[in-house]
Amino acid sequence: MNIAYFGYDFFWPCLSKLIERGHSIQSVFTFGTDNKYNYNDRVIQLSSTNNIPVRFDRIRKEDLTQLRQSGCELLVSAAYPFRIPLAEDSIHGINIHPTLLPFGRGPWPLPHLIIHSPDKAGVTIHKLSEAFDSGDILAQQGIEITSRETLESLSARTQILATNLLASVLDDFEGFWKKSTPQGDGSYWPMPTDAEQTIDWSDSVYAIDRKVRAFGKFDTNAVIGESKFFVYDVSVWQETHNFQPGTLIHEMNRETVVAASDGFVCIRFCEPVKE
């Protein structure tokens, strides 16, 4: 198929799979990234290697008209943050979303899956629609979150599943398109607030551990004494004690131990916040 691809490196294996399967990629639409938390290096490199033009500006209706006139048959959106304008005569479009829709609509559902809704983990491929993450579902498959799931492990599992699911859909695209089903009512999960991304030392050690695993390299905030830190990795254990939650009780060369409500948190890796 002649395809226009929209996205950045989170789902880059999907673009690679499309190229590998012999689809003609007419254009790649991406966007500027900070290259600390989000990257587009791989989609740019893939595009360069395969002589695919790359666009960094937002897609416009005029662009869709040009794509249609040049023979584009399908738009594939994979973690593209901007609305793709649609029209009655628009090219078919699909979006890849990392939850079991209709639950978990929104820009960054993975931390929420680990902390609150592990039963909604998975990948959905659905039709593009005017409302984000709301189009008819072509295919979806769940992921069973493990007891020690991290943001990084769930991201990897989601990317692998998305790549395989996309390949299956494109093997019988017309069949999946015709059999698509409406989503119905679901839920929207907004971006986490600073408070949701901050350790509350009065929580249980397991809740703290789960939060740190859920945000991974994207920082979990913590206040220890008078100082603020980004926390990336912890070990925890339950133990009865008389310390106030948040009390720094032990320091080693690299690790720090802080009291929580029902035990202790050993901070294995963190960085001070530069004010």
What CATH number is associated with residue 210? 3.10.25.10
Same domain, 170 and 215: no
pLDDT in tens, the chain (275 residues): 999 999 999 999 999 999 999 999 999 999 999 998 999 999 999 999 999 999 999 999 999 999 999 999 999 999 999 999 987 677 999 999 999 999 999 999 999 999 999 999 999 999 999 999 999 999 999 999 999 999 999 999 999 999 999 999 999 999 999 999 999 999 999 999 999 999 999 999 999 999 999 999 999 999 999 999 999 999 999 999 999 999 999 999 999 999 999 999 999 999 999 87
Residue for token pair 């397991």 = 206
Boundaries of domain holding 93: 2-178
Same domain, 22 and 151: yes
- State the total domains in the chain: 2
25 touches 52 (CB < 8 A): yes
- Whether 195 maps to a domain, the answer reads no
- Whether 90 maps to a domain, the answer reads yes
Same domain, 166 and 104: yes
96 touches 11 (CB < 8 A): yes
- Whether 190 maps to a domain, the answer reads no
- Whether 21 maps to a domain, the answer reads yes
Q: 151-171 and 205-215 helices cross at what angle (nearest 10)?
A: 50
Instruction: Among 140, 162, 178, give the residue marking a domain's end.
Output: 178
Cβ neighbours of 68 (radius 10 Å)? 15
